[in-house]
Amino acid sequence: MADIAAHTKSAASQSEAATQDANAAAIAAFEKRNRMGPFMWLPIIWLCIVIALALFAPLLGLLPADEMDFMALKAAPGAADGHLLGTDHLGRDLFSRVIYGGRVSLTVGFAAPAIGVGLGLILGMAAGYYRGWIDDVVGIAIDTWLAIPGLVILLLFAVVFGGSLFMVCLSLGLLFIPTAARITRAATMKYAGREFVLAARAMGASDRRILVKEILPNVIWPLIAFVLIDIPIAIVVEGALSFLGLSVKAPTPSWGGIIAEGREHLESSPHIALIPTAVMFLTVLSFNLVGDTIRRRMSDVREGAI
C-alpha cells in the first residue's frame, strides 16, 4: 500500500509541470476555433471584385451587353479577340453580360431583404407591442403567406405586375416578411414588459416614441443577422425567376437569364451556361460563408456580454 502512495505522490509532482503545458494547450485549442481563416477572406475578396465590377460597369469600357458580334457566335473563352469569356449564341460578349447581369442580381440581393425585413420589422413591432386584433390579423396574414410556396407567389406577382426591377425587388421582398415579422414580434413582446419601457411609459412617452426610441434599438440586432442570410437567398430566387424568364425583361441581362439561354446550347457550347453558373455559385457561396462567420461572431459577442 505504501508504494502505491509513493507512486501517487511522484506522479503528482510530475504532473505539476505538465499541468502548465496542458493548460496552455487547452486554452489555445479553444481560441483556434475563433480565428479568421481563408474561408473568410477569400469570399470577401471575391465579393469585393464582383460588387466593384457591377458598380462601375459603365466606366470600364466594356462592350455593350447587347451588341452582337456576328463574326464570333458561340465563341469559346479566349477563342475570339476582344471576348475574354467568349460569346453567346448571338455573339454577345459574355464578360459584359455577366457583369451587367450581376447588377440585377446584386440589386435584388440587397434591396429585397431590406424591403422585406423593413416591412417585417414594422408588422412585427406593431403585433408584438399592441397585441390584440392587430396581432391576430398579422398572424393570420403570415400563416397565409407561408401556406403558398414562395416561387408560386412570385409567379403570381410576375404575371400580375410584370417584370420591372422595382417590382421584382418588391415582390421578392415580400417573401422575407413572415420570418422577420415573427422574430421582431417575439423580441418586441420580450422588451415591451421590461422596466425601461414601463418607466418610459410612466413618464408619459407616446407609443410611437417608445417603439422607436426604446424597442427598435433592441430588436434590430437579430434582424441584421437575418438580412445576412437573406441576401444569398434573394440572389438565388431572382436567378430562378429570371431563369424562367419572369424577372427583368430581356434584353437586360441577368444571371438566371443568361443561364437559361445557355441551356439551349449546353451540348455545343457549354461555356455559355457554365460561366454565369460558376459566377453566381461563387457569389452565393461567398455571401453564405461571410454571413455565417459574421453571425457566429455576433452570437459569440452577445454570449460574452452576458
Partner 1 sequence: MRFLLRRFQRLVIVMAAVTFVTFILVNVLPGDVAYEMAGMDASEAEVAEIREEIGLNRPLPIRYLEWVGGVFTGDWGRSFINEEDVWHAITQRFPVSIELMLLAQVMALALAVPMGMISAYRPDSRADRIIAGVAFASVSMPSFMTGLLLIYFFSLTLGWLPATGYEPLSAGLWANLKPMILPALSLALVEWTVLMRTLRAEMIGVLQEDYISLARAKGMSNARILWGHALRPSSFTMLTILGLQVARLMGGTIIIEQIFGIPGVGRLLIHAVYTRDFIVIQGCVTFFALAFVLVNFAVDIAYAWLDPRVRQGGKAHG
Partner 2 sequence: MGEIILDVVNQRTAFPTKRGMLQAVNGVNLTLERGRTLGVVGESGSGKSVLARSIMGLLPRAAQTGPGSSVHLNGRDLTALSERELRPIRGREVSTVFQDPMTALNPTLTVGAQLIEGLRHHLGMPKRAARARAIELLRSVGLPQPETRVDQFPHQLSGGMRQRVAIAIAISCEPDLLIADEPTTALDVTVQAEILDLLQRQVRERNMAMILITHDMGVVAVRCDDVAVMYAGRIVEQAPVRELFQRTRMPYTAALLSSIPRITDGPHRRLDAIGGRPPDLIHPPAGCAFAPRCKFASDPCQGVMPALEGDERHRFACHTPLQVEAVA
The contacts of residue 249 (CB under 8 Å, 6+ apart) are 162, 163, 164
- Nearer to partner 2 by C-beta: 23 or 164? 23
* Least distance from partner 2 to the Cβ atom of residue 283, Å: 36
Between CA 72 and CA 236 the distance in angstroms is 30
Between CA 118 and CA 127 the distance in angstroms is 14
DSSP 8-class letter at 84: T
Between CA 29 and CA 45 the distance in angstroms is 28
Which range in 5-13, 111-119, 190-198, 285-293 contacts partner 1 by CB under 8 A? 285-293
By the 10 Å C-beta count (0-12 exposed, 13-18 middle, 19+ buried), 147 is classed as: exposed
Work out which of 51, 134, 244, 294 binds partner 1, going by CB under 8 A.
Answer: 244
15 binds, among partner 1, partner 2, none (CB under 5 to 8 A by kind): partner 2
Work out which of 213, 263, 296, 302 binds partner 1, going by CB under 8 A.
Answer: 263
Binding mask 200-239 for partner 1 (x = CB under 8 A): --------------------------------x---x--x
306 forms part of the interface with partner 2 (CB under 8 A): no
Query: CA-based Rg of the chain, rounded to a whole angstrom?
Result: 27
* Least distance from partner 1 to the Cβ atom of residue 82, Å: 27
| AA identity, residue 182 | R
* Least distance from partner 1 to the Cβ atom of residue 291, Å: 11
The contacts of residue 229 (CB under 8 Å, 6+ apart) are 291, 295
Count other C-beta atoms under 10 Å from residue 282's C-beta: 16
232 binds, among partner 1, partner 2, none (CB under 5 to 8 A by kind): partner 1
Residue closest to 117 by CA, chosen among 3, 13, 219: 219
244 binds, among partner 1, partner 2, none (CB under 5 to 8 A by kind): partner 1
C-beta of residue 131 within 8 angstroms of C-beta of residue 217 = no
- Nearer to partner 1 by C-beta: 223 or 235? 235
> Would you tell me the crossing angle of helices 94-130 and 271-305 to the nearest 10 degrees?
30
Binding mask 6-35 for partner 2 (x = CB under 8 A): xxxx-xx--x---x--xx-xxx-xx-----
Work out which of 1, 4, 28, 147 binds partner 1, going by CB under 8 A.
Answer: 147
Between CA 19 and CA 103 the distance in angstroms is 57
Q: Which residues bind partner 1 (CB under 8 A)?
A: 33, 140-141, 143-144, 146-152, 155-161, 232, 236, 239-240, 243-244, 246, 256, 259, 263, 266-267, 270, 273-274, 277, 280-281, 284-285, 288-289, 292
